[in-house]
Chains A and B, each alone.
Chain A
Amino acid sequence: MGLRILSEKERQKNIDDNESNLIAQLQGVSKKFKSTKNESLHDINLEVYQEDFLSILGSSGCGKTTILKMMCGLIKSTAGKINWPTSNFQNSSENPANLSFVFQEPNLLPWMNVYDNIKLPLKIYKENSYKADENIYDIIKLVGLEGFEEYYPRQLSGGMSMRVSIARALVTQPKVLLMDEPFSALDETRRFDLSQEILKIKKEKKLTVVYVTHSIYESVFLSNRIYVMQSNPGKIFEEFDFSNQEKPEDYRFTPQFFEQTKIVSDSLKRAQNAE
């Protein structure tokens, strides 16, 4: 049985054992927006290890996205700190390409065609004299967009747009990929295909992925670690670790998958009752 809820002690032990693999650690991070009365996020403690597929699972509005945006510096926290033990994974002016972000919606620029949308980060890097490899066609091939280079976003389906968005995130050759419910607007088959592809790409590129979602199935299928969140204010409720478990090819259809889905689902229910 690979899936375990981690106790505080086990969590600490995990941190000590895997210290060399730790790439990011949130310690007591809180966030209060000026426009709201209460804290949106309260005392978030969270670790990201190298080559993790980490899911942050929670209902809408619990602050999942805010955690991601704080990790890549789009939003500043009001309390606590985010540690990056080595500078190899954090974005900085010397090395802006370590982290990439896939938004909830494709977020393409409608006035640029597919090729230019994917190239945009490299263009910005180059102008700011940061070296960036031109591997646009490799990436276009990787996400299956060959032949669509000249298309404009309005000519693309939702799934295709998402592929462009993923390609744009990968073109900078990041080490960490932050994904904010990237497939929530897609139909089930597309979502299945794309999540399968993300797993493949993650393996191929040795990526670390932090994945925010409200889908229990998706989080169990994709990740080796899951943080379940509760809302008002957003807090980590429970942490699951199934790193030591092999996922078979047809994992999605095994009894094991359903069992684990139920465990995580129960946890999420308890989290909602605890609010």
Chain B
Amino acid sequence: MQNNKIHSLLVIIILFLAWEISFHLLNLKWYLLPPPSMILVSILNNAHLLFLSLLTTLKIAIVALILSVIVSTSFSIVFYFSKFIERSLTPITVILQVTPIIAIAPLISIWVDSSEIATLICAFLVAFFPLLANTIAGFKSTEKKHLELLRLYGANKYQILRFVVIPNALPYFLSGLKISSGLALIGAIVGEFVIGPISGHSGLAYRIIESGYQLDIPKMFGAVFLISLSGIMLFNLVRLISYLILRKWHSSYQQVD
């Protein structure tokens, strides 16, 4: 495990070095492809601005993720208790999923005054569906033998939900959360691109547009790096949560001697 991390870190360092060296050797134009050192300097120069934008984007992604967790879990539980509601609502969730967010974003920005909330809605719409689909799949994968066991002891539907259905769905839910954590960030960026700068302090997407206007390519790269970085952070956060919840019993965390 530790070895693997060192390996991938080495690969990244070598890539950046190769980039830096080839920039100088091949005499590349800095305004087309700036070298990593220049990007780093630009990030440091614009640290305050970029950091606040990072916070704005991260806040939207995280709030969207939390909303998706709440909504998809409640939907799954409602669907568990009522097949009728499930049958009626499933098509709507699918329609929302297959419609590209870029297509609805302008509408949302017309309906909602605050650009922050409009972007949040975009991020939520993108992040919500994979989580819902995974959680529902988890609910449905409850093993028959476990249900029989609970019924044998006279458990009611609510007890079956608590003792068997929810714990059984957790691994599915958490792998959905991994997908959604990336998508929430994408939604937050795409939303801001289409809707425009977020009121208060604009997010990283607007920093990219702004750098384009100013032809400040190093800053643009800086913003892109920060987006990737926050994506990695979000993903690892979910992975940590997943590890803490599942490590004791789930086979994906089997200790190897």
Contact = CB atoms under 8 A, between A and B. Distances in A.
Answer whether A and B are interacting partners.
yes
Interface of A: 69, 72, 74, 91, 93, 96, 100-101, 103, 105, 107, 109-113, 120-121, 123-125, 127-128, 130, 152-154, 172
B152 A120 contact: no
Nearest to A93: B154
Contact of B249 (A103, A111, A125, A128): A111
B149 A154 contact: no
A121 B146 CA distance: 13
Contacts of B150: 124
21 contacts: A69-B148, A74-B148, A101-B152, A103-B148, A103-B149, A105-B145, A107-B145, A109-B146, A109-B163, A110-B250, A111-B170, A112-B249, A123-B163, A124-B154, A125-B153, A125-B154, A127-B159, A130-B154, A152-B249, A153-B249, A172-B153
Nearest to A165: B149
B152 A154 contact: no
Interface residues of B, number: 22
B164 interface: yes
B185 to A, nearest CB: 30
B127 to A, nearest CB: 26
Interface core residue of B145, B152, B254 (most chain A CB under 10 Å): B152
Interface of B: 145-146, 148-156, 159, 163-164, 167-168, 170, 248-251, 254
Contact of B167 (A96, A111, A121): A111
Nearest to B146: A109
Given A128-B156, A152-B249, A120 B145 contact: no
Contacts of A96: 153-154
B134 to A, nearest CB: 17
A95 to B, nearest CB: 10
A86 B154 CA distance: 20
Contacts of A172: 153
Given A110-B249, A111-B167, A120-B163, A128 B154 contact: yes
A120 B249 contact: no
Given A109-B164, A121-B153, A154 B159 contact: no
Contacts of B167: 109, 111
A71 B152 CA distance: 11
A112 B251 CA distance: 13
Contacts of A124: 150, 153-155, 159, 163
Interface core residue of B153, B154, B248, B251 (most chain A CB under 10 Å): B153
Given A96-B153, A103-B148, A127-B159, 18 more contacts: A69-B148, A72-B152, A74-B148, A93-B154, A96-B154, A109-B149, A110-B250, A111-B167, A111-B170, A123-B163, A124-B154, A124-B155, A124-B159, A125-B153, A128-B154, A130-B154, A152-B249, A172-B153
